[in-house]
Copies of this chain bind each other. A is one copy, B any other.
Amino acid sequence: MTRRDTPTLTLADIAERLGARLVGDADRRVSGLATLREAGPDQVAFLANRAYLKDLPETRAAAVLLHPQHGETCPTARLELDNPYLGYAALSRLFDPLAGRPPAGVHPSAVVDPSASLGARVEIGPSAVIEAGVTLGDDVIIGPGSVVGADSVIGAGSRLHANATVCHGVVVGQRAILHSGCVIGGDGFGFAHDGARWHKIAQLGGVILGDDVEVGSCSSIDRGALGDTIIGHDVKIDSQVQIAHNVQIGDHSALAGCVGIAGSTRVGKHCMLGGGVGLSGHLTLCDGVQVTGMSLVTNSITEPGVYSSGTGAMKNAQWRKNAVRFKQLDDIAKRLSRLEKGRDG
């Protein structure tokens, strides 16, 4: 793979692509973006958080993307938008060095089973492997060393980065991004115990990823035991996440790094799970639930809102005393009740 050279755009180009109102020199050329503090005179900066308003007067940027309310205090050209953070997202994609390259085709070292079906403009990197019966949609990019297992389907415009693995019988929607080291469709963790040893339960289901799903580096989504593990549209999954068999995640939910979800749990739409959150198996979380970092959820949640568990960090010397008391907590509560009764009595 090659990266394309960073494109050079005029402020007029950018205003048009972002739907922004430009105040300033339309022909000025820029070749990148940066923060207000770090932007040079050939870059665009953005103001999407009031905390950085203090950096606006001193910026050296060629132009600043901001909300119209801050236009007056901008010392340089400006691109006004009602949602400058969304504008920043769009702007970042204009400068993405991986976008807009001509597809490189199928590398001679890639191994593509003759029964696979390849759409238009498909790119398959060196040492990649496409097994029997696979379907790759138009504009799919398969990174070097990646493997797509038998009979899997990768929707149009999706990309597997290097060394990603999609196992057999998996369906990936359109415009999905699967990062390096992730594994989609490994076996779920299913065994029956005979009183002495374990017997494997073959994992006969698959995994279905919706459109616009992103899966981070080294994350794993296991195949279902009987039915499928189902990830909705526009679900964003960070790195080092584990999703067990037959989990379902509703559309537009986001899972931060190191989240673990046990089998058959259903997460609603528009949920947000903080880093390291754990969900026990067979739970249901309704739409709109947020769970803060490293919380453990062992019961279903039926009401939208923010949920937490755990204790905040403190100095170890202090913590040791409190952690000992935690083990006495039920006793403390009972003794308190006894005292209260004595006082009332």
Contact = CB atoms under 8 A, between A and B. Distances in A.
A196 B252 contact: yes
A204 B335 contact: no
Contacts of A333: 325, 328, 332
Interface string A190-215: 11101011111111100000001010
Interface in A267-283: 275-276, 278, 280
A174 interface: no
A187 B181 contact: no
A262 B278 contact: no
A319 B314 contact: no
Interface string A235-267: 010111010100000001010111010100000
A154 to B, nearest CB: 15
Interface string A80-99: 00010110111011011111
A34 interface: yes
A2 B150 contact: yes
Contact of A186 (B128, B204, B216, B234): B216
A308 B297 contact: no
Contact of A2 (B132, B145, B328): B132
A215 to B, nearest CB: 10
A73 interface: no
A320 B308 contact: yes
A340 B99 CA distance: 67
A292 B319 CA distance: 11
A206 to B, nearest CB: 10
Interface residues of A, number: 143
Interface string A153-192: 0000000011101011100000001011111001101111
B198 A252 contact: yes
A327 interface: yes
B194 A83 contact: yes
A161 B151 contact: no
30 contacts: A33-B226, A89-B191, A89-B202, A109-B127, A125-B129, A127-B145, A129-B144, A144-B147, A147-B163, A179-B186, A181-B186, A183-B217, A186-B216, A198-B236, A218-B218, A218-B219, A218-B242, A220-B240, A275-B278, A276-B278, A291-B313, A298-B313, A305-B316, A308-B323, A310-B310, A322-B330, A325-B330, A339-B339, A339-B340, A339-B343
Interface of A: 1-3, 32-35, 38, 83, 85-86, 88-90, 92-93, 95-99, 107, 109, 111, 113, 125-129, 131-133, 143-147, 149-151, 161-163, 165, 167-169, 177, 179-183, 186-187, 189-192, 194, 196-204, 212, 214, 216-220, 222, 225-227, 234, 236, 238-240, 242, 244, 252, 254, 256-258, 260, 262, 275-276, 278, 280, 291-299, 301, 305-330, 332-333, 335-336, 339-340, 342-343
